[in-house]
């Protein structure tokens, strides 16, 4: 779906990096008396729409929370469905990502997934690595607390081995150890479905991000919804602790 907002018409700043907690697939399906798998399938369609809209709106980075480290607690059948949809997305969309000059990144410990899926992810990352356009980041088996703990362990090991003075560990040094180190700072974090929590997503990165909670269920999210979120962001005043 084409977006109705012309990015050049925005009066304020535009975000470079937007992240979305994609929530509401199950409720979307329940409202229609459909199985949860149907909601997840429609959620994948929303990913396609929103990724294209993000490119059209000039975003540099779009980060999507696809599967958290806590999602393993869901029923095995649902997890299997989600992994099947991920396979389908990679097969169906990789050519489009290449053609659209989009670079794919994955954050989170995705290597614990099945070997065939890991291979597909590695192949998709490799095939888009030379692209110079917007970056699509997929968070898979991701948890922000685990990310921060892993960064702390690496810094502690470097200090133990004498390669790092503990006094040199500051915010910038920690950020350099995070999986998002090479990305622009997070500007806007959106959560769909009306829930108002971060659910262990980009906790460090969201320290000064603008937060936007929308009632729209993820399968209904589209380019116009994203454009409206960006317009809302452009009207906000970001002070970063100053006046």
Residue 3: inside a domain = no
Residue 243 above 60 pLDDT? no
Does 161 participate in catalysis according to the annotation? Answer: no
* Cα dihedral 203, 206, 208, 211 sign: negative
Split at pLDDT 50, 70, 90, the class of 1 is very low
Residue 124: exposed, middle, or buried by beta-carbon count in 10 A (0-12, 13-18, 19+)?
buried
| DSSP for residue 2 | -
CATH code of 44's domain: 3.40.1180.10
Q: Tens digits of per-residue pLDDT, 66-119?
A: 999 999 999 999 999 999 999 999 999 999 999 999 999 999 999 999 999 999
**Parent domain of 51:** 16-234
Residue 243: inside a domain = no
The 8 Å CB, 24+ separation contacts for 170-179 are 174/148, 174/204, 175/204, 177/150, 177/151, 178/147, 178/148, 178/151, 178/204, 178/205, 179/107, 179/108, 179/147
The annotated binding site for substrate is made up of 24-28, 36, 40, 68-70, 72, 74, 191, 197-199
Q: Tokens representing 195?
A: 């829930």
Residue 130: inside a domain = yes
The annotated binding site is made up of 23-28, 36, 40, 68-70, 72, 74, 191, 197-199, 210
What's the structural domain count of the chain?
Answer: 1
Q: Tokens representing 123?
A: 């192949």
Residue 20: inside a domain = yes
Average pLDDT, the chain: 93
Active-site annotation holder among 6, 13, 56, 71: 71
Q: How far is CA 221 from CA 15, 70, 104, 143, in A?
A: 18, 23, 21, 24
Active-site annotation holder among 23, 141, 187, 222: 23
Residue 102: inside a domain = yes
| Tokens 């356009």, residue located | 133
Residue 74: inside a domain = yes
Q: What is the pLDDT of residue 9?
A: 52
Q: Tens digits of per-residue pLDDT, 62-73?
A: 999 999 999 999
Q: Which of 7, 14, 1, 6 is nearest to 236 (CA)?
A: 14
Residue 223: inside a domain = yes
The annotated binding site for Mg(2+) is made up of 23, 210
Does 71 participate in catalysis according to the annotation? Answer: yes
Residue 4: inside a domain = no
């Amino acid at each position: 779906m084409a977006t109705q907002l012309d990015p050049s018409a925005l009066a304020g700043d535009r975000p470079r990096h937007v992240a979305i907690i994609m929530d509401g697939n199950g409720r979307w399906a329940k409202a229609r008396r459909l199985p949860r798998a149907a909601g997840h399938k429609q959620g994948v369609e929303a990913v396609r729409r929103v990724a294209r809209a993000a490119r059209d709106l000039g975003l540099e980075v779009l980060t999507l929370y696809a599967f958290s480290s806590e999602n393993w607690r869901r029923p095995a059948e649902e997890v299997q469905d989600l992994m099947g949809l991920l396979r389908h997305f990679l097969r169906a969309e990789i050519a489009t990502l290449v053609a659209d000059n989009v670079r794919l990144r994955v954050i989170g410990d995705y290597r614990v997934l099945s070997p065939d899926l890991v291979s597909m992810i590695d192949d998709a990352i490799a095939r888009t690595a030379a692209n110079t356009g917007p970056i699509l980041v997929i968070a898979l088996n991701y948890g922000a607390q685990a990310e921060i703990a892993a960064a702390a362990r690496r810094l502690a090991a470097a200090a133990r081995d004498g390669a790092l003075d503990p006094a040199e560990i500051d915010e910038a040094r920690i950020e350099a150890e995070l999986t998002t180190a090479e990305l622009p700072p997070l500007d806007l974090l959106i959560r769909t479905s009306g829930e108002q929590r971060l659910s262990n997503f980009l906790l460090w990165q969201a320290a000064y991000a603008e937060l936007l909670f929308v009632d729209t269920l993820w399968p209904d999210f589209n380019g116009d919804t994203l454009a409206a979120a960006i317009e809302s962001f452009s009207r906000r005043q970001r002070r970063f602790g100053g006046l």
